[in-house]
Amino acid sequence: MRRSGARDWPYALFLATVAVSFILLSVRLVELQVVKGDYYRNLSSSNHIRVVSRPAARGQIMDRNGVILADNEPAFMVSIIPSEFDTTTIDLVASELEMEAQQIEEILDQAASVPHRPVVLKEGMSVDQVSGIAENQYRTPGVIFDIAPLRRYNRAEDFSHLLGYVGQSDDEEAYHGEVVGRAGLELSLNETLRGTPGLRREVVDAHGRVVETFESTESEAPVPGRDLRLTLDASLQAIALEELTATGMPASVVILDYTTGEILCAASAPAFDPNQFARGITSAEWNVLLNDSLNPLFCRAWAASYPPASTFKVVTAGWLLSEGLVSPTYMPDPCYGSYTLGGTVFRCWSTHGRLNIVQALERSCDVFFYRCCQFGTLDGLVAFAARFGLGRPLVSELVGEKSGSIPGSEDLDALYGVRGWGLGNLLNYSIGQGELLATPLQMAAVAGVIASRGSMPVPGIVMGEESEPPLLSGGNLPDATWDAVSLGMRNVVAAPRGTLYSVFAGSPLEVWGKTGTAECPGENHALLIGFVREPRPLAFCVVVEHGGSGSTTAGPVARGILETWLCGEAGAV
Amino acid sequence: MMGRDRPDLLLILAAAGILVMGLMTVFSASRVVVEEGLFSKQVLWTAIGSLFFVAGTWISFRRLEEIAPFFFAIACLLLLATLFFGSGPADRWLVLGIFRLQASELAKASLVLMTAWWLSSLRVKPRRMGELLVFLTVLPAVVLTAIQPDLGTSVAMFLVVLSMFIWAGYGPGWIFLIVSPVAAAISSTSFALWLGFTAVLVFVLFRRKATVMGWILIIGGNSLVAALTPMAWNVLEPYQQSRLLTFLNPAADPHGAGWNIIQSEVAVGSGGIFGQGYLQGAQKELSFLPARHTDFVFSVWAEETGLLGSLLLLSAFMILIWRITRAARKSVNPFNSLVASGVAAYLAIHVFVNVGMTLGIMPVTGIPLPLMSYGGTQMMVVMFLLGLAVNAGMYWREV
């Protein structure tokens, strides 16, 4: 009998558990049916409950100093509950909202499958705008208005490309009035920023009037999204956009701190006003943006890639020196203004004579690099360039960041066929032309790697994301390499024959730089990369589309931005 | 001496009563459902289910014990097939010609038999780590159901298996050790909770006079789980976290399941003491109530028959479960007894979770109300299991 005796306690436990469960269910039944029975009976016969979601405020976005770039302002949102709406009042509603009756019908048609869920008619309305509909609410059952936070961009144009904008979600699963990021950081960091919506359950009578709020055990308050602090500096960004806009040409600038990798400025001109999107862009406004030949929606700081042109020579020079292909004092045959390889003439923009590598950088001689690059291989140069962050996107949060292009021999085989290309491609690579493409962000990183002597962390735009970001470039180069490249870049500005000498003449700043002129149909693109060490460690890249040569247009922009920000209006350090 | 009793009449009576109430409710609910012929189909399912019931009372337990592992393997294969070829709501049906099979229902029945098979064989011939083998054996069914995804059903499966362990005589301390990794993961949310959990763990190990190896493995393993859970959580991106939370708690969905629960509470509450009257439920009529004939069938019954009808139904379930548990106790053959205990646990868990959901005190899961909810597979499986329970209660032996 041991076994059946041993089974006595499980038997008791089973029955006790079942009894307790059933008592629990019975207690709840009594609560619902007896204690609150009248309440529910009343609800089900004359009133009903509707669930209205309360949008959560999106997280604020701040710059590195806490300047608020994007926040929310209280605004009204008018919605309609199709199942409660009396369609004979559609004209009244339309006139109060300054909409077409047809627009409202379209919205109702789209929402036909879920008639008890409210759909947004119009958002971003002020108290005055909503007062008409509020006064007429008793005549228009099913029309409700809520307070919904409206996204507000305080530095609208300055950060338009970076922050992007928000809009009503058109996802089937989205809740009523849900706002989602549509572009920029609003899109890529939507999950961080958006927060969790709350719920309000309302008991409404037959006229659609709210009788009371339905109590429930669930938590209902919306949880605001997380705030975001960027590495950018709002004042620098404003100065940069002003300088870029003054050129009258599409242009961009990226400035980063090469000791931390933090991006301080990433501006692209022309810009647009993202507030238009937040309050619901009209088709007229949208068409203006779309038809603008300068394409203000396009971000030139990271979504555009250009031939790096002569700015790439700093990479070629680093490669030649670190691989031991040339020494800092080596002088190849002189530059006579062009170089002929297998019947093809590769031209230089001037006749430079006999130069060493520092002078070749200073005066941007092409022939020097044509001659010397042949000591190495194309794949050697490509592998070296990858250590500067070229050929891959650098910042995951940036929407639409281009990876640029720096095809190796396998890629060229695929492109042109085996033997469809040759040494000429390497010659073009050595001066940043040919198949090479890089974004302004990548070229600023190149300058940063040189300024930091290879110890720059991977660029970032969100503050405090990682305590110790990994380094961008892998491996150390000999000191002599960094010294020679830096000296070359310094001489570009400081030596009388340097390409930036006249641009920075009289500047209180000690600047290292390298110009570039990217060949393209029409006027060439002007490029400039460089860095300063004092008073702040900054690396930068300026691109002015169709700006001619790097020294004439990009140079003054860079000088203007740096001096205004670092030296103040007075021009003193 | 051995003997064979008459079938337990009270058990059969309770089941028949529930079936009648179920058919009444499905008839009422089907009047406002677009799909035609729900009621006649449910009558057909009940008739076929009765045949399964008779089969359950006739089958030889010895034969059943022999085929239990095969049956379980087939159920797992069907679950696997559902993952690839599933259709219907949330892809949980397997279409075989004119039949639409819900493999997870079949799996629940086979799980009861498989666990009974293992536990009874362990009683005859104990093995080292035998209990672990039981869990490893049932794991495929639980996991395959969870990734359908039908987390509710897989948790119910796990609870049935645990209940059968308790029935087999494994004590509370033992059960605590089994679920300790889950408890460790939950306790990692607060330090006080973790301290309390570890204290209980130490107490249980002390009482059970665990070996040094056991101490190291169990304390170490659980500490590892508790330490890794927050880390694993933080590795996830925010959107992944929110997806996981929605997966674990679909009621948090602001306009999906939450809406259903409110409508269900209103329906139940408006029933009052005496109900709105059969076929008179306003919430049901107005189509506010979702899944009226399946998962929320209890709400319809409660709205139309009120507190009295609801308590009548719950009492019928309670009598049914009590009689099955009694049959399990009476039947001395370990396999028979364990099967019956599994059936009792199966019913109790389903009733509590489903009714609790309609009353808003349990999370929303796709767990139906046995013998009441519309559906063929579930009806046949439950009726067969009931037959087995009656069958088990008919065998007894005096030692």
**Residues in chain B, total:** 399
Are the beta carbons of A391 and A294 closer than 8 angstroms?
no
Question: Region B203-230: what's the mean pLDDT?
Answer: 84
Q: What is the pLDDT of residue B341?
A: 95
Q: Are residues A127 and A239 in the same domain?
A: no
Q: Which residue in the block uniquely carries the two structure tokens 């009120």? A: B306
User: B78: distance to nearest CA of chain A, Å?
Assistant: 31
Q: Are residues A267 and A406 in the same domain?
A: yes
A22 touches chain B (CB under 8 A): yes
Range of the domain at A396: 234-276+298-567
Q: Are residues A257 and A159 in the same domain?
A: no
Q: Please check the confidence at residue B330 and state whether its pLDDT lies above 60.
A: yes
Q: What is the pLDDT of residue A214?
A: 60
Is A240 among the domain residues? yes
A37 CB neighbours in chain B (<8 A) are 269-273
**CA B268, B274, B280, B282 torsion: positive or negative?**
negative
- SS3 of B168-198: the string is CCCCHHHHHHHHHHHHHHHHCCCHHHHHHHH
Closest-approach residue (CA) in chain A for B345:
A14
Q: Are residues A373 and A482 in the same domain?
A: yes
Is A287 among the domain residues? no
User: B172: distance to nearest CA of chain A, Å?
Assistant: 10
Is A292 among the domain residues? no
A144 forms beta bridges with A79
Mutate to test the interface with A, among B166, B255, B268, B298 (most CBs of A within 10 A): B255
A478 three-state secondary structure: coil
Cα B200 from Cα B218, distance rounded (Å)? 12
User: B356: distance to nearest CA of chain A, Å?
Assistant: 7
Intervals of chain A under pLDDT 50: 1-5, 217, 219, 570-573
Q: Are residues A56 and A18 in the same domain?
A: no
pLDDT digits (tens, 9 = 90+) for B349-393: 999 999 998 898 887 777 899 999 988 889 999 999 999 999 998
Instruction: Delimit the domains of chain B by residue range.
Output: 2-168+253-397
Are the beta carbons of A125 and A78 closer than 8 angstroms?
yes
Is A289 among the domain residues? no
B317 CB neighbours in chain A (<8 A) are 22
Nearest CB partner across the interface for A41, out of B272, B334, B355: B272
Q: Are residues A210 and A310 in the same domain?
A: no
Domains: count for chain A:
3
Q: Are residues A380 and A433 in the same domain?
A: yes
Closest-approach residue (CA) in chain A for B237:
A191
Q: How confident is the model at residue B398 (pLDDT cuts 50, 70, 90)?
A: very low
Q: Please check the confidence at residue B74 and state whether its pLDDT lies above 90.
A: yes
A166 three-state secondary structure: strand
Q: Which residue in the block uniquely carries the two structure tokens 């009656």? A: B390
User: A186: distance to nearest CA of chain B, Å?
Assistant: 14
Q: Are residues A122 and A210 in the same domain?
A: yes
Q: Are residues A249 and A382 in the same domain?
A: yes
pLDDT digits (tens, 9 = 90+) for B295-305: 889 999 998 99
Nearest CB partner across the interface for B282, out of A44, A175, A192: A44
Q: Do B268 and A29 touch (CB under 8 A)?
A: yes
Q: Do B341 and A24 touch (CB under 8 A)?
A: no
**CA B298, B304, B308, B309 torsion: positive or negative?**
negative
Burial class (CB in 10 A: 0-12, 13-18, 19+), A570: exposed
Q: Do A6 and B258 touch (CB under 8 A)?
A: no
B267 CB neighbours in chain A (<8 A) are 44
Average pLDDT across chain B, whole number? 84
Q: Do A33 and B169 touch (CB under 8 A)?
A: no
Q: Are residues A30 and A127 in the same domain?
A: no
Q: What is the pLDDT of residue B84?
A: 84
Q: What is the pLDDT of residue A148?
A: 80
A175 touches chain B (CB under 8 A): yes
ipTM for this prediction: 0.88
Q: Please check the confidence at residue B33 and state whether its pLDDT lies above 50.
A: yes
Buried b (16+ CB within 10 A) or exposed e, B109-133: bbbbbbbbbbbbbbeeeeeeeebee
CATH code, domain carrying A346: 3.40.710.10
